[in-house]
Every structure is written in structure tokens, then in C-alpha cells.
Amino acid sequence: MTEDVNPETLPSGEQPLESRGENRSQRPASAAFKEFMASGWGARPELSTERGAAAPFTAERRDRLSAQFPGQRLVIPAGTFKVRSNDCDYRFRPHSAFAHLTGLGAEQEPDAVLVLHPVDESEAPDGVTGTPGTHRAVLYVRPPAGRDSEEFFSDARYGEFWVGARPTFTDLETLTGIRTAHLDTLRDALAKDVGPDGVQLVVVPGVDEAVEAVVEEIRAAQDTGGSDARLAEALSELRLVKDEHEVAQMREAVATTIAGFEKIVGQLPAAVAHRRGERVIEGTFVGHARQEGHAVGYETIAAAGDHATTLHWTDNDGRVRTGELVLVDAGVEVDSLYTADITRTLPVDGVYTDVQRRVYQAVLDAADAAFAAAVPGNKFRDVHAAAMEVIAARLGEWGLLPVSVEESLSPEGQQHRRWMVHGTSHHLGLDVHDCALARRELYLDATIEPGMVFTIEPGLYFKSDDELVPEEYRGIGVRIEDDVLVTVDGNENLSAALPRDPDEVEAWMARLSAR
Ligand code: GLY
Ligand code: MN
Ligand code: MN
């Protein structure tokens, strides 16, 4: 299917390259056709919009951001479409900072820009203009074009004839609780009162080139700066502690992901029978994610046998063999865009061999030690350190370390990391690696606080060509990854309903296979 318009020509008579895609077919250009297309439609179908459950929470999040940027105008774009092949786009996903501050989720809303306007001391604190010293939020959006417009039937990205009903200003205002304005007024709104002694303009970098260019132009003309990096950092840090609504979304993402793992177990015989069994696993999970949520939060890893020792194995084009393990690292991103991030390493035929179980148990013990350290008052870095003590100790017991366990654990050693080069934990939320731009003192060196959500995911990976490990370990890769909510007096394993103890994994697989 193609957007169908008549080719234009340059004065030279040649057709410009950018309109060559239109050579596939012809759309009528007659006035009669356009007039006919604009007529005869019943009432425009309305979206049934009500206030989103996130709205009270996003208002509080915007207030917390506002307090950090007095007198600055904050520009937070959703982003625009990204081309994946010639004239086809990737499915639209708004930038996570935009989703966090508006509550908008899947497919919402291409090209929209949230602006927090500083409220001047001279403005009346009348509830419309806002309280002086704070910010007033406005969402700039591109509304649907009327049915009398050419866009309606000719624009494959925005026309409702092509993409279905799009939200109006009222729809978005109702949903988000944020005032809306036409995107065409954005430039003037951004430029108002900007100057060396006036308002500073800052934009989230790397989200929407066109919006960034407008901001740069205004800043250059008005000879004023503003730290975009500081805004990006603040937006990341704003998500370090999740609110009640976010935790509810994470619970949903985790529960939906666990249901996906159950479906995978049911499909293991089909995976073994297929020449690309890993794709059977991936396809099962991705299909489930699309049916039950928005998508997956990251590319699914379905890594059988030695592929499990490739940390981000996403080719998933290998065989799945009985007698081997399969490592599945997968997360459903729900419609609000929060994602789970869970890994289980399963015996393909439902029973771990002795050596598989030995490696698995070491990883599980490391995870348990990490859980014990993931409590308020400890440092985030303590979680990794606790896991590493167990990993190094086991590798020492097995005679794999070239130095003592103590020496390996010292900063000058670290030999044990050959078999687990990745970290043990990362924050989780709207992004799988959430809060990634937070300062080190608020991430690795931070004190753990209630409301933080992060992963615990130790592993051990013995590559098949690793000559430093005995033959029996080669080709075994194990990771166990859970999603953890820090509570006032400890933590809750959000993914506890998915078995992780090896006996329980075997019993769970047997139960599912008997269905
Ligand atoms: N799935 C990516 C990660 O575990 O960080
Ligand atoms: Mn992870
Ligand atoms: Mn993962």
C-alpha cells in the first residue's frame, strides 16, 4: 500500500528523488475528486477518552522537576517517527521522559512537545498562569486534520483515513490533565522572553532534531545558553524512586512477562523440532507481548547451549537441543511503557544435569546474597559486591581462579570477572536500563532507598572455547535475573512468582508440560 500522489517535476523536467516513491501508482488530482472526498461523511468517530490514572502522579513529577529549574523553559519532546526502510516507519514509541511527565504511552503522541514554561513573578497566581516561581505545563500537539483537508485522505503518517482516529486537543487534555496548544504555535511560545537576562531555554537532547534546531536557533539569536545535559540528567534522576502508580505498572509488566515464560515452556518441544528453535522461543514471547501489552522492552534473548555465553545473543537463529540449557532474557513492555527484565535458564528437557545444576546453584547463591544486600541504607554498589563474593568463592572452590579468592576480589585482581563481565544490577522502569543518565553519586554510589526498582542478575558464562575451564563446564551459560522493589525494611522480589530454585524450576516445567 502506498501514499498515492502525482509526481512533481523539477524545472529541468526531471522528477526529484524524494517523490520517486510515488511512481508506484496514481492518486487522482482532480478538483472533483478532492471535493468528492471531502463530502458525505457522518460524524467523525470520537475516541472515548477519560482522565488517565497516571495524571495525578505526572503532575507531582512535573512539580519536582520544576523546583530544580526556576526561571528556565523546559522542552521535552516526544520525538518523531523513525524510518526503518525507505518510507516505512518503526512503530512509534515516545521518549521515556515525555511518557513519565505526561502519562502518555504506546503510540502517543508523535511530534508532541511538552513545555514547562517558567511562571514570571509578575504573573498573577490565578491558577491559569500558575504560581510565580514555578512552571506551567503546555502540551503542543499536531491535531487531526478535518475531513475536508487533503491530509485526511492523502497523508499516510497523519491522515485519519490511513492511521485511524487521532486524539484531539480535548482528548489529550482530558487524558493528561495538561493544557494543550497547536504545534504551529510552538516556535513563538519557545522564543517568548528568552534572552541573556530573561528566560533560559533548555531541551532534552537527542530526541527530536527539528525541535532541537528551533531551540538552537532561538538561543543563538538571543545570545543565551542553558544546560541541556543538566535537564537530561535531572529527568533520569527523577525516576530513581518509583511512585505508587509506577510500581503498579511494573507489577503488571512482570506478571505479563511471567505468563510469557509459561508459554515458552509449552513451546519447547516445538522449538526442539525446528531448525531455528531459538526463534520459536522468541516468537512465542514477542507474540505474547504484543497480545498482552505494547511490545517487548528490549530484544528478546533466546540463547540455547553455547549461545547463552554470548551475553546479548539476539540473533536467536540457532537450534534448541535436549540435554542443553536455554537462557531466556525477556520483558514485556506494557501499554504505559514500563518494562520487566527477567532471565531464566531452563533445562530444555526439564531436568538439569549435575554440572548444569552446580553452575546454576552458584549463580542462585550469588543472587540470594545480592538480595540480602539490596536493602535501604546499603549502597547500590554493595549489591554487586555481595554477588561477586559468592561468584569468586565458587570459582575458587572449583579451582578455576589463577589467584586466591581474596586477591581476585581485590581491585587489582578481578580475575573472576572473566566469567561474569557484566554488572549485577541496573535500575528498571520505562527504560530497561532506566535512569541511565543519573550522576554516579545517585546511581552506583547512592544509598538504596524504598521505591527503587532494579534488577539482580548474576551469571556465569563458560564459552565452549575457553581453555581455562574443564571440559564439563564449556558451553554452559547461566543467568538468573529478577526485578526487585526496595521496601521500607527490605525488598520484594517482584518476579518471585517465576520459579528460580532449580527443583522448583523442574517441577514448574513438568507441570506446564503435562498440560
Ligand atoms: N536484558 C538486558 C539486561 O538484562 O540488562
Ligand atoms: Mn537486566
Ligand atoms: Mn535482562
| Average pLDDT of span 104-115 | 97
Please indicate, yes or no, if residue 33 is contained in any of the structural domains.
Answer: no
Q: Which pLDDT score is estimated for 515?
A: 78
Which residue's C-alpha cell is 540457532?
A: 318
310, 481, 482: residue to mutate for ligand 1 pocket, most atoms within 8 A of CB: 481
| Average pLDDT of span 76-84 | 97
Decide which of 237, 265, 288 is a domain's last residue: 237
Does residue 219 sit in the same domain as residue 272? Answer: no
> How far, in Å, from the CA of 36 to the mean position of ligand 3?
54
Cell readout for 77 is 519532546
* Closest ligand 1 atom to 298 CA: 1
- 433: exposed, middle or buried (Cβ count in 10 Å: 0-12, 13-18, 19+): middle
Q: Say if CB 375 and CB 492 are below 8 A apart.
A: no
Q: Which pLDDT score is estimated for 127?
A: 46
300, 329, 424, 480: residue to mutate for ligand 1 pocket, most atoms within 8 A of CB: 329
- Rounded to 10°, the helix 277-292/244-273 angle is 150
Distance, in Å, from the CA atom of 208 to the CA atom of 81, rounded to the nearest integer, reads 9
* CA distance from start to end of the chain: 42
Does residue 148 sit in the same domain as residue 280? Answer: no
What does the DSSP assignment read for 337-394? --B--EEEEEETTS---HHHHHHHHHHHHHHHHHHHH-STTSBHHHHHHHHHHHHHHH
Does residue 221 sit in the same domain as residue 257? Answer: no
Which residue's C-alpha cell is 540455547?
A: 304
Q: Which pLDDT score is estimated for 9?
A: 78
On the question of pLDDT at 62 being above 60, the answer is: yes
Q: Closest Cα partner for 115 from 189, 225, 207?
A: 189
Domains contained in the chain, number:
2
On the question of pLDDT at 124 being above 60, the answer is: no
Please indicate, yes or no, if residue 41 is contained in any of the structural domains.
Answer: no
| Average pLDDT of span 440-452 | 98
Q: Which pLDDT score is estimated for 48?
A: 83
The H or E element containing residue 295 is strand 295-296
Listed range (10-14, 177-181, 246-250, 285-289) with the worst mean pLDDT: 10-14
CA 260 to chain centre: 18
Does residue 251 sit in the same domain as residue 207? Answer: no
Q: Which pLDDT score is estimated for 126?
A: 47
On the question of pLDDT at 1 being above 80, the answer is: no
Kindly report the backbone phi and psi dihedral angles of residue 465, in degrees, each rounded to the nearest multiple of 5, phi listed first: -105, 25
Does residue 231 sit in the same domain as residue 252? Answer: no
Distance, in Å, from the CA atom of 129 to the CA atom of 174, rounded to the nearest integer, reads 19
- Name the band, by pLDDT with cuts 50, 70 and 90, for residue 132: low
> How far, in Å, from the CA of 149 to the mean position of ligand 3?
47
Please indicate, yes or no, if residue 167 is contained in any of the structural domains.
Answer: yes
> How far, in Å, from the CA of 242 to the mean position of ligand 3?
19
Does the C-beta of 282 come closer than 6 Å to ligand 1? no
On the question of pLDDT at 25 being above 60, the answer is: yes
Does residue 227 sit in the same domain as residue 275? Answer: no
Does residue 177 sit in the same domain as residue 309? Answer: no
| Average pLDDT of span 419-445 | 98
> How far, in Å, from the CA of 91 to the mean position of ligand 1?
22
Distance, in Å, from the CA atom of 496 to the CA atom of 251, rounded to the nearest integer, reads 11
Please indicate, yes or no, if residue 87 is contained in any of the structural domains.
Answer: yes
Structural domain span for residue 385: 244-513
> How far, in Å, from the CA of 455 to the mean position of ligand 2?
6
Distance, in Å, from the CA atom of 52 to the CA atom of 108, rounded to the nearest integer, reads 13
Does residue 454 sit in the same domain as residue 365? Answer: yes
pLDDT, averaged across the chain: 94
Residue nearest to atom 4 of ligand 1 (CA): 341
Query: Which domain CATH number covers 77?
Result: 3.40.350.10
Does the C-beta of 340 come closer than 6 Å to ligand 1? no
Decide which of 183, 203, 237 is a domain's last residue: 237
The residue type of 273 is: A
pLDDT, one tens digit per residue, over 455-466 is 999 999 999 999
Q: Say if CB 224 and CB 195 are below 8 A apart.
A: yes
Please indicate, yes or no, if residue 45 is contained in any of the structural domains.
Answer: no
| Average pLDDT of span 157-178 | 95
Does residue 374 sit in the same domain as residue 403? Answer: yes
Q: Say if CB 278 and CB 270 are below 8 A apart.
A: no
Higher pLDDT, 2 or 313: 313
Please indicate, yes or no, if residue 28 is contained in any of the structural domains.
Answer: no
Please indicate, yes or no, if residue 32 is contained in any of the structural domains.
Answer: no
- Rounded to 10°, the helix 244-273/502-513 angle is 70
DSSP state letter for 249: H
Decide which of 195, 211, 237 is a domain's last residue: 237
Higher pLDDT, 132 or 391: 391
Query: Which domain CATH number covers 257?
Result: 3.90.230.10
Distance, in Å, from the CA atom of 404 to the CA atom of 401, rounded to the nearest integer, reads 7
| Average pLDDT of span 426-445 | 98
- Name the band, by pLDDT with cuts 50, 70 and 90, for residue 269: very high
Listed range (117-126, 293-302, 384-393, 397-406) with the worst mean pLDDT: 117-126
Expressed in percent and rounded to 5, the helix, strand and coil fractions of the chain are 40, 15, 45
Does residue 202 sit in the same domain as residue 163? Answer: yes
Q: Calculate what percentage of the chain has a pLDDT beyond 70.
A: 96
Whether the CA torsion 100, 102, 103, 106 is positive or negative: it is negative
Q: Closest Cα partner for 390 from 324, 475, 480?
A: 480
Beta partners for residue 342, in sequence order: 330
Does the C-beta of 432 come closer than 6 Å to ligand 1? yes
Please indicate, yes or no, if residue 363 is contained in any of the structural domains.
Answer: yes
Distance, in Å, from the CA atom of 139 to the CA atom of 115, rounded to the nearest integer, reads 6
Does residue 218 sit in the same domain as residue 295? Answer: no
On the question of pLDDT at 249 being above 80, the answer is: yes
Distance, in Å, from the CA atom of 464 to the CA atom of 449, rounded to the nearest integer, reads 41
Q: Are strands 476-479 and 459-462 parallel, antiparallel or unpaired?
A: antiparallel
Does residue 497 sit in the same domain as residue 360? Answer: yes
Q: Which pLDDT score is estimated for 125?
A: 46
